[in-house]
Amino acid sequence: MSLGLQALFGLRREESIKIIAAWADRGERLVLKDSWTKGGREREIPIRTQEQRQLLDEAKALAKGKSLVAPGYATYRDYLQHFRYQCDRAGIHAFHGHRHFYAQARYEELTGWKCPARGGPTAKQLTPKQKALDREARLTISAEMGHDREAITAVYLGR
């Protein structure tokens, strides 16, 4: 469930575990409490697709009004060790790629073309109008992912 939230909403691993889906679901947007996020900044992510809605509803049903920290674990730190172990057993060794998936899919949705990291045009190949749309998309993605600067999107999208 946590990995799905990372991929479909661009959440960090910690956010995807600490989230209380029933609280965070505000209909058309997902609200992350400051205590769940890096840097302690509350943020909102639009719920745009049926796939996101379905996953969020499944998370709410699974967690029953609580976070996704599994029952039997007293602390986030204890659960994180279990989470890593289970992911290793499943052959999943890196988690940040799920955020890359979100950023790249969101970029294509906002611009209409693939990002440079996925074979889309580079900044040098864009027209002035496309460059403006590219910048606007990067700022949107940066905010949705909990960053406050456009430059960080190059890590996820390329240049």
Write down the pLDDT at residue 73: 86
106 shares a domain with 58? no
Write down the pLDDT at residue 69: 86
Domain extent at residue 127: 97-157
Beta-bridge partner residues of 25: 30
DSSP, residue by residue, 85-146: HHHHHTT----THHHHHHHHHHHHHHHSS--GGGT---GGGS-HHHHHHHHHHHHHHHHHTT
Q: Is residue 12 part of a domain?
A: yes
Question: Regarding beta strands 29-32 and 43-46, do their DSSP bridges make them parallel or antiparallel, or are they unpaired?
Answer: antiparallel
Residues with pLDDT less than 50, the chain: none
Write down the pLDDT at residue 144: 95
pLDDT by residue (tens digit) across 110-125? 999 999 999 999 999 9
Write down the pLDDT at residue 5: 95
Contact (Cβ atoms closer than 8 angstroms) between residue 45 and residue 36 = no
Number of domains in the chain: 2
58 shares a domain with 13? yes
